[in-house]
């Protein structure tokens, strides 16, 4: 039987997942990664750790399943987006990779807007300049580490460094490339205009490929290190959110993917690029050939609940913590939570934004606070939905929800009521790695296209419908929630300044 391997190099781990020709998961293995924060606001990793994590996970899944390596017909890659990996002429890493959640590049974002103009930048790339993206990181290295900058020969994203170690080839997928702020999102190729304006040599960037295209094959050295078969095709794959969308079947226009993980993502597939005029949403190429997607990202979604549990109810399991919230009315009797615990992206691209509880009275119990956290995250995700509607994406047929937070029936109901949409769950729970494996299978010819693959492998397993009375109640509380950030913005920034001093 043919098998297909998906490799997901996230911020916290590298997962290797095998599926068979029916799309069933045959096995998976995960190797944890560590994160370095050498200075405040910095976030880095050693690319060598990604490769060692990939080697370890591949070996484990082969050993655990007993599947011969020659039955693996293709490999797909996915992983964290935006990270800056710099190589010299010999292909050696020049410095630790600067990751998506690194916040050091505020001045460089301002410089990018000044060089291109914000409106033109958004028109070309589909995005505003944010600290998470790759382009401002390149400018930071030029300004702060000129000796390293002078040695640059190639720039790769994290998953594409694993691709390089697997195949000896430089390549990237168009979805990941769109997250660098250097791609013309409409033409799906590197933007000469942006590269020239930022004085970044085009030769430093790898060729771009659609998600199902073969970019190379497993080399002798990689075969020896991993146990994979020499010459196994490696397809382009996609950035983590695009591959996650493939993994839950959000590939057709009108089907929305809502991911309730550490961060929260609202992801809408589209047949053409939808660009929010102010750049408050991300407009990227999809991992599905010839399609695009619009995406809103809140940085602390289920991460907010984890922080709340670990800080205020340590040792309590989530089911026990959430159970009493079923008896609390919508709006938590006037208690609101602003979930900006690590800054925010959508709808406010503000790394200095802070979280808050507002409206506290002696009436409020722990159950009120818990429900307020669930509701605050739902309100934050609704902000992304509202921006999408404002940008013209009004034909929403279905919302597919996934991620750790989506396991809670209470939270799913709150989301359905706040968003006023039907939420559905699907039979796949392996996320981006599963999507990467499906892309590999399509690239190897197991299915003619991604639509056919997802229709064959992904089925709906449950539905949560909005309740009219609760929807009406949440409309009033959402209106108050939207006033919190403007009211607290200056205070948040001032507190950040006082803390840094």
Q: Which class is domain 249-299+392-464? A: alpha beta
Predicted TM-score of the model (pTM): 0.90
d(CA 78, CA 48): 17
d(CA 374, CA 336): 10
Fold classification of 3-242 is: Nucleotidyltransferase; domain 5 (3.30.420)
> Is residue 147 among the annotated active site residues?
no
Per-residue confidence of the chain (501 residues) as pLDDT tens digits?
899 999 999 988 999 999 999 999 999 999 999 989 898 789 999 999 999 999 999 999 999 999 999 999 999 999 999 999 999 999 999 999 999 988 899 999 999 999 999 999 999 999 999 998 999 999 999 999 999 999 999 999 999 999 999 999 999 999 999 999 999 999 999 999 999 999 999 999 999 999 999 999 999 999 999 999 999 999 999 999 999 999 999 998 888 999 998 889 999 998 988 888 888 899 999 999 999 999 999 989 999 999 999 999 999 999 999 999 999 999 999 999 999 998 898 999 888 899 999 999 999 999 999 999 999 999 999 999 999 988 887 778 889 998 889 999 999 999 999 999 999 999 988 889 999 999 999 999 999 999 999 999 999 999 999 999 999 999 999 999 999 999 999 999 999 888 877
The SS3 of residue 183 is strand
Half-sphere exposure of 455 (CA within 13 A, CB side): 7
Given a contact cutoff of 8 angstroms between Cβ atoms, the answer to whether 256 and 398 are in contact is: yes
Contacts by residues 450-455 (CB-CB < 8 Å, ≥ 24 positions apart): 450/211, 450/212, 450/246, 450/251, 450/287, 450/288, 450/289, 451/251, 451/252, 451/288, 453/23, 454/246, 454/249, 454/251, 455/249
Q: What per-residue confidence (pLDDT) applies to 332?
A: 98
Q: Has domain 302-385+471-500 been given CATH number 3.30.420.40?
A: yes
Can you state the angle between helices 366-390 and 409-419, rounded to 10 degrees?
A: 40
Catalytic pick among 128, 173, 240, 417? 240
Q: Where in the chain is the domain with CATH 3.30.420.40?
A: 3-242, 249-299+392-464, 302-385+471-500
From the CA atom positions of the chain, what is the Rg in Å? 22
What are the φ and ψ backbone dihedral angles of 7, each rounded to 5 degrees? Answer: -120, 125
């Amino acid at each position: 039987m043919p098998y297909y391997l998906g490799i997901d190099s996230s911020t916290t781990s590298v997962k290797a997942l095998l599926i068979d020709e029916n799309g069933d998961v045959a096995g998976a293995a995960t190797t944890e990664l560590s994160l370095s924060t050498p200075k405040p606001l910095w976030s880095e990793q050693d690319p060598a750790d990604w490769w060692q994590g990939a080697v370890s996970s591949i070996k484990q899944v082969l050993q655990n399943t007993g599947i011969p390596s020659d039955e693996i017909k293709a490999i797909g890659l996915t992983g964290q987006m935006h990270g800056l990996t710099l190589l010299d002429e010999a292909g050696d890493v020049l410095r630790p990779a600067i990751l998506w959640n690194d916040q050091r590049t505020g001045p460089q974002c301002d410089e990018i807007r000044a060089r291109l103009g914000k409106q033109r930048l958004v028109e070309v790339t589909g995005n505003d300049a944010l600290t998470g993206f790759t382009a401002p990181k390149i400018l930071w290295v030029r300004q702060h580490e000129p000796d390293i900058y002078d040695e640059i020969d190639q720039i790769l994203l994290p998953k594409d460094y694993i691709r390089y170690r697997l195949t000896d080839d430089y390549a990237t997928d168009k979805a990941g490339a769109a997250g660098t702020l250097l791609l013309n999102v409409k033409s799906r190729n590197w933007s000469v205009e942006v590269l020239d304006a930022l004085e970044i040599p085009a030769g430093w960037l790898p060729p771009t490929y659609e998600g199902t295209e073969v970019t190379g094959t497993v080399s002798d050295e990689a075969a020896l290190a991993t146990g994979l078969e020499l010459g196994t095709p490696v397809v382009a794959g996609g950035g983590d959110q695009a591959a996650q969308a493939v993994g839950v079947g959000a590939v057709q226009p009108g089907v929305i993917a809502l991911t309730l993980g550490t961060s929260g993502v609202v992801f809408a597939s589209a047949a053409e690029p939808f660009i929010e005029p102010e750049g408050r949403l991300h407009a990227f190429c999809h991992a599905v050939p010839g399609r695009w997607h619009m995406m809103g990202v809140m940085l602390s979604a289920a991460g907010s609940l984890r922080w709340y549990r670990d800080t205020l109810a340590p040792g309590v399991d989530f089911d026990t913590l959430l159970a009493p919230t079923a008896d609390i009315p919508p709006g938590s009797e006037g208690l609101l939570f602003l979930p900006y615990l690590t800054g925010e992206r959508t709808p406010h691209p503000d790394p200095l934004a802070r979280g808050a509880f507002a409206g506290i009275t002696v009436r409020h119990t722990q159950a009120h606070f818990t429900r307020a956290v669930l509701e605050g995250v739902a309100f934050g995700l609704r902000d992304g939905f509202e921006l999408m509607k404002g940008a013209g994406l009004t034909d929403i047929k279905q919302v597919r929800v996934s991620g750790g937070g989506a396991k809670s029936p209470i939270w799913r109901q709150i989301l359905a009521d706040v968003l006023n949409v039907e939420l559905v769950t699907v039979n796949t729970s392996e996320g981006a790695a599963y999507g990467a494996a499906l892309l590999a299978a399509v690239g190897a010819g197991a299915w003619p296209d991604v639509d056919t693959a997802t229709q064959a492998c992904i089925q709906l397993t449950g539905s949560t419908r909005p309740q009219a009375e609760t929807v009406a109640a949440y409309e009033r509380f959402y209106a108050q929630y939207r006033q919190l950030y403007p009211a607290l913005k200056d205070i948040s920034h001032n507190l950040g300044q006082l803390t840094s001093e």
